[in-house]
Amino acid sequence: MSDSESVKESKKFVHNCTKCGSCCEKWSEIPIYIEDLQKWIADGTIHPVLPFLQIQETPPAYVRLIMKKPATNEEDPNPSGCPLYDYKNKICNIYSSMPLYCASYPLAYNGEKFYLVDRDSPGLGNGIMTAETLESARERARNQFEAVSSSIAILPLLYTMIISSIMQKSQEAMASLSDEDQQQLEELLSKSKDDQETEDETDSKEDNQETEDETDSQDEWEDIDDEENTEKENTEKENTEKEE
């Protein structure tokens, strides 16, 4: 696609949210950036968001922050993907301070040009867009792009610092334990390890027993087949002798 065609296509972009909730219902993970946290801390929105913030680590060093429902075996009264979407009333609980990813949807920016991340959005082609509203949509997409870049640079460093701090405090706590407490802790860890090894051995024995049972069953069927073949051969031999 040429630059002129790209510009021509970008002028056709029209999107106005229909507030149908389709995107909120299907998104199970919402990317969160440092800028989102700063905004929520400033406007007091951080408290309802905190229970759903999770850190995802992808080797070797990629770390990202997401908003996601915690895993549970209980029936979910809110079947939507986003944990902050009110499925019953069809409204975002932080609509006025929604994450940058949601605010820029479905338009995105890669540092060079704008593009659509979802061509099935119900809001596409809905209503009209003035030059001002179009520029506002592009500004949100640019902000989201800049937030991605800064979070990619900062989050791994923050994550490493937090993990290092936790490990240091853990070592300090271990060092402050009395000899008796350390011995008790070592015994608990050793018992836990032995229990795990016993469980693994039990599982292994059960698997081996199932394999042996299958083999015995197969041998049994083979023996029966052999007996049937022998009996058949004897019958055929007797019939042949009678005919003679």
Calculate mean pLDDT across residues 96-119: 93
Given a cut of 70, whether residue 205 has pLDDT beyond it is no
Q: What pTM does this model have?
A: 0.61
Mean pLDDT of 115-132: 91
Q: Give 141-165 pLDDT, tens digit per residue.
A: 999 999 998 888 887 777 676 666 6
What pLDDT sits at residue 111?
93
Residue 105 has pLDDT above 60, yes or no: yes
Reported as a single tens digit per residue, the pLDDT across 38-73 is: 999 999 999 989 999 998 887 766 788 999 988 777
> Rounded CA gap, 55 and 151, in Å?
12
Quick one: which of 139, 135, 105, 145 has its CA closest to 123? 105
* pLDDT of the residue at 16: 92
Query: Where does the chain have alpha helices with state H?
Result: 3-11, 22-26, 34-43, 46-49, 100-104, 131-176, 179-243
Among the ranges given (57-66, 167-176, 197-206), the one the predictor scored with the smallest mean pLDDT: 197-206
3-state helix/strand/coil string of 125-144: CCCCCCHHHHHHHHHHHHHH
17-31 residue pLDDT tens? 888 888 888 888 999
Residue 213: the pLDDT is: 55
Q: Is the per-residue pLDDT at 94 higher than 80?
A: yes
Query: Residue 100: pLDDT above 90?
Result: yes
169 has a pLDDT exceeding 80: no
The number of beta carbons lying within 10 Å of the beta carbon of residue 204 is 10
Q: pLDDT-derived band of residue 33, with 50, 70 and 90 as boundaries?
A: very high
CA distances, 168 to each of 33, 163, 164, 171, 244 (Å): 27, 9, 6, 5, 97
Average pLDDT, the chain: 77
CA dist 163 to 30, 58, 70, 160, 209, Å? 23, 15, 21, 5, 44
